[in-house]
């Protein structure tokens, strides 16, 4: 066993490399951290058989290449001691300072908390990690380096564990690295994930690429020489390099475009680095005079940088022998940011405006994560929002004042509204795209100019959840709906409890606050209002709760049967009262209420076929009746059998419109002489429905008409 007080040759080599940019006292501090970590991990080994200290040393080496500061490198050496040894956060703080202790704590997993599933545990880990990351971005840099080394040594793991870790890396860590502009780490994580997720595909593609490499070497050399020569003739001093595309990039192209390997011609890319921005555009013109550009393939990320700060000109050209070649043109500063992203702050100490802008964008993204985190009720929901926000594809749209906003692909005006400000999203009622009115579900495209129209009385619509693309929009809409449901459920719960109290001949107002608090506590609710909301959502039976609230010590809590009052249904109760989809009750129908857990009160028609089997639990059924003066529209389904004749659908639709009803949906089925039409209509009540059906019966082609129930 190695002596824990001796620095290994590998560690000495690393400290020698780090001394190229760190002060002597900083290297000495790292040596102390190494010895501390080595002692803490003494006797521990990785699954490969290596001493455990080899892992934190490798992680520190990855971060050293980004020239990160001493605190980050110290935390990297110590990043597993809290999780895998008996060392406490306080001990790290006393020995190496509070900033280092905070970094180590941010990276550590939550192993000491019990979770129901692995998914819950992982989601909570991400939640904690990103909370720490929002305070200090260096947390995620350590975590990414940690994951990169684990991926490099993944072959020693069991097959199922390999696949799980690779999938997690592909879905979360690689996109985070991309979002932070850590290009090299991003591509390596993607490549390693592909290797372990699809080992057979990886092997086949690797073999095919090696075979093609020899055949194409001559072509690549020819293109490289031609580009250098043309740029020289244009008076540009440029550094030109050719690179082979990564296997995962080739695989993704094959999968997305349904191509075979032989059809993916551009497996090589070329990078041109010139001295300044004007030279980038001169180089672009020079290359266009050498090879024809492919229409629609030019992207100007200099004028409109990516959200992670990345800048370059991208273009695809027709090379010799009809081979498409991809070219990136950038300046040395752009290249530094492209390689190191947010870490370029430490890599290149400068007051560069681009770097400051990049850090501002990163800070804004992290703050939006914090906002989403506070809005999400559980870790899995937060993880879902995070995955949405990590989509690599982006569209760039303009505000009315000309400011550019980067949004994920598939974003809509609602996403845009929430990206501008939460209040604008909440009050959004309409949108104009490029000066013309457009539906809120319209997919935005790069270059669109978007204007949001708001109204003070407006509120988020549940239907928005079907088409919003950003985690921020989804999280705010859900939070609003949960709050609205809570308020409505509490009001409904109070009405249901009032009904139960009436049957006991007791006034609800006579229950003391002390009794409310006691029963709420015993029922797992935080307050009286929470208890009422739980009753409205069907988590507690109102009759049983009424008995508990009025019971004296030792008295039986047997539920009362029957009720003297009925609950009035107005149709304006919102999410707390639902109308059953099976029978679709409308005012005028004889109705009954069923308390369904977590859904509240569900209203059925009394003769609905689907409720017969649920009649058993008498306490779950409530007497309900329609209120007066109901003005809203209700959905109802009707089935019409019509003779198959030209124009019959138009005549049926016209008759429905003449009766003042709106068609939500229509389904047609049938061949030969007759067709069955099933309509979903909006009506006020039974009287209105009868009026619609009378109008339809006057059409000669209508053979039979009926309302659908159950």
Predicted pLDDT at 395:
78
Q: Of 322, 219, 338, whose CA–CA distance to 272 is shortest? A: 338
- Phi, psi (rounded to 5 degrees) for 303: -65, -40
Contact 89, 82 (CB under 8 A): yes
CB-based contacts of 573: which residues, under 8 Å, 6+ apart?
488, 491, 492, 601
The helix-helix angle for 24-40 and 9-18 (nearest 10°) equals 150
Is 263 annotated as catalytic?
no
Name the 3-class secondary structure at 269.
strand
- Residue in the structure block whose two tokens are 């003042």: 660
The pLDDT of residue 117 is 53
Strands 577-579, 600-605: parallel, antiparallel or unpaired by DSSP?
A: parallel
Residues 6+ apart with CB under 8 A from 163: 196, 197
Burial class of 116 by CB neighbour count within 10 A (0 to 12, 13 to 18, 19+): exposed
Give CA–CA dist 164/629, Å, rounded: 58
The Cα 236–Cα 358 span in angstroms is 28
As given in the structure block, the two tokens for residue 509 are 């107002």
Look up 84 and say whether it is catalytic. Answer: yes
- Selecting among 26, 69, 84, 354, the annotated active-site residue is 84
Which domains, and CATH codes, for the chain? Answer: 9-197 (1.10.3210.10), 200-342 (3.30.460.10), 358-477 (3.10.20.30), 479-626 (no CATH), 634-707 (3.30.70.260)
- Rounded CA-CA distance 129/608 in Å is 51
How far is Cα 174 from Cα 286, in angstroms, rounded to an integer?
A: 35
The catalytic position among 26, 83, 333, 426 is 83
What's the CA gap between 444 and 404, in Å, rounded? 13
At 158-202, the pLDDT tens digits run 888 999 899 988 888 888 888 788 888 999 999 999 999 999 999
Q: Mark the ranges of the chain whose per-residue pLDDT is less than 50.
A: 1-2, 110-116, 347-352, 355, 391-392, 554-564
408 Cβ contact partners less than 8 Å away, ≥ 6 residues apart: 388, 389, 391, 393, 394, 395, 415, 469, 470
Which tens digit of pLDDT belongs to each residue from 568-612?
887 776 666 788 888 999 999 999 888 776 666 789 998 888 776
Look up the pTM and report it: 0.58
First to last CA, the chain: 75
């Amino acid at each position: 066993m190695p002596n824990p007080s001796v620095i290994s040759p590998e560690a000495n080599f690393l400290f020698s490399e780090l001394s190229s940019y760190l002060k002597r006292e900083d290297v000495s501090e790292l040596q102390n951290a190494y010895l501390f970590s080595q002692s803490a991990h003494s006797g521990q080994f990785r699954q490969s058989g290596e001493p455990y200290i080899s892992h934190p040393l490798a992680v520190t080496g990855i971060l050293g290449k980004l020239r990160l500061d001493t605190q980050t490198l110290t935390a990297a050496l110590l990043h597993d001691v809290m999780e895998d040894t008996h060392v406490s956060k306080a001990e790290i703080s006393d020995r190496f300072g509070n900033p280092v202790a905070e970094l180590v704590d941010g990276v550590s997993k939550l192993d000491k908390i019990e979770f129901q599933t692995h998914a819950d545990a992982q989601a909570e880990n991400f939640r904690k990690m990103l909370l720490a990351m929002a305070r200090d971005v260096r947390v995620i840099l350590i975590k990414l380096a940690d994951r990169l080394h684990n991926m490099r040594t993944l072959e020693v793991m069991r097959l199922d564990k390999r696949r799980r870790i690779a999938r997690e890396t592909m879905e979360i860590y690689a996109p985070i690295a991309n979002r932070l502009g850590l290009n090299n780490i991003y591509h390596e994580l993607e490549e390693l994930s592909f290797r372990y997720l699809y080992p057979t595909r990886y092997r086949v593609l690797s073999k095919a690429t090696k075979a093609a490499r020899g055949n194409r070497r001559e072509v690549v050399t020819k293109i490289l020489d031609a580009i250098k020569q043309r740029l020289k003739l244009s008076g540009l001093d440029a550094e030109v390099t050719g690179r082979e595309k990564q296997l995962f990039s080739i695989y993704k192209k094959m999968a997305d475009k349904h191509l075979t390997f032989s059809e993916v011609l551009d497996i090589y890319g070329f990078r041109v680095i010139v001295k300044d921005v004007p030279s980038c555009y001169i180089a672009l013109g020079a290359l266009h005079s050498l090879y024809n550009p492919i229409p629609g393939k030019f992207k100007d990320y200099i004028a409109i940088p990516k959200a992670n700060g990345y800048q370059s000109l991208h273009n695809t050209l027709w090379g010799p022998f009809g081979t498409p070649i991809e070219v990136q043109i950038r300046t040395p500063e752009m290249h530094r940011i492209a390689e190191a992203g947010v870490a370029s702050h430490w890599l290149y100490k400068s007051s560069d405006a681009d770097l400051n802008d990049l850090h501002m964008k990163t800070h804004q993204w992290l703050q939006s994560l914090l906002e989403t985190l506070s809005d999400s009720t559980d870790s899995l929901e937060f993880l879902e929002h995070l995955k949405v926000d990590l989509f690599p594809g982006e569209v760039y749209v303009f505000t009315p004042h000309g400011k550019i906003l980067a949004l994920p692909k598939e974003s809509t005006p609602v996403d845009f509204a929430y990206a501008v400000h939460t209040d604008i999203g909440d009050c959004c009622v309409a949108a104009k795209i490029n000066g013309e009115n457009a539906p809120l579900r319209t997919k935005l495209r790069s270059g669109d100019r978007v204007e949001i129209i708001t109204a003070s009385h407006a509120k988020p619509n549940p239907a928005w959840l079907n088409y919003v693309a950003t985690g921020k929009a989804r999280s705010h809409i859900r939070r609003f709906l949960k709050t609205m449901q809570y308020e409505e459920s509490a009001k409904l719960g109070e009405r249901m409890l009032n009904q139960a109290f009436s049957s006991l001949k007791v006034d609800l107002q006579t229950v003391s606050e002390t009794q409310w608090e006691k029963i709420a506590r015993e029922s797992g609710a935080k307050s009286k209002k929470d208890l009422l909301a739980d009753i409205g959502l069907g988590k507690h039976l109102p009759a049983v709760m009424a008995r508990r609230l009025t019971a004296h010590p030792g008295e039986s809590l047997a539920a009362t049967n029957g009720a003297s009052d009925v609950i009035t249904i107005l149709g304006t109760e919102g999410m707390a009262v639902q109308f059953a989809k099976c029978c679709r009750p409308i005012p005028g129908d004889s109705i009954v209420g069923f308390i369904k857990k977590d859904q509240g009160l569900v209203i059925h028609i009394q003769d609905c076929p689907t409720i017969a089997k649920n009649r058993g639990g008498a306490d779950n059924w409530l007497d309900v009746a329609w209120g007066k003066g109901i003005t809203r529209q209700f959905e109802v389904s009707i089935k019409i059998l019509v003779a198959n004749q030209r124009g019959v659908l138009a005549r049926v639709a016209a008759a429905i419109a003449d009766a003042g009803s709106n068609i939500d949906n229509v389904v047609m089925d049938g061949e030969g002489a007759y067709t069955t039409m099933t309509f979903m209509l909006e009506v006020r009540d039974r009287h209105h429905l009868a009026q619609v059906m009378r109008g339809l019966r006057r059409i000669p082609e209508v053979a039979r008409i009926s309302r659908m129930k159950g």
